[in-house]
Amino acid sequence: MTLELGGKSPQLVFADADLDAALPFLVSAGIQNAGQTCSAASRILVQRAVFDAVVQRMAERYVRCASARRSPTPTWGR
């Protein structure tokens, strides 16, 4: 779900979230179009129970993005 909240689009991650499904979206939501869209994730609110896992997995994915080819593909960042 995408909510338009005045350019401050939070992503919510609850403890029962499917992290395998959520992580690709969380990563691309913040960097799509260099973050210059009104729905770009400017905040990610994570329930405490999964916070460490989300931070670790997002960091791993961002490293892969930074070291990926310069031309994005459909699986870029995933």
| Helix, strand, or coil (residue 73) | coil
Q: Which of 1, 4, 18, 66 is catalytic?
A: 4
**Nearest of 37, 8, 24, 35 to residue 73 by alpha carbon:** 24
Phi, psi for residue 64 in degrees, rounded to 5: -65, -35
Q: Which of 38, 45, 49, 55 is catalytic?
A: 38
Query: 29 is written with which tokens?
Result: 């939501």
Active site residue 38: yes
Active site residue 60: no
As annotated, the active-site residues are 4, 38
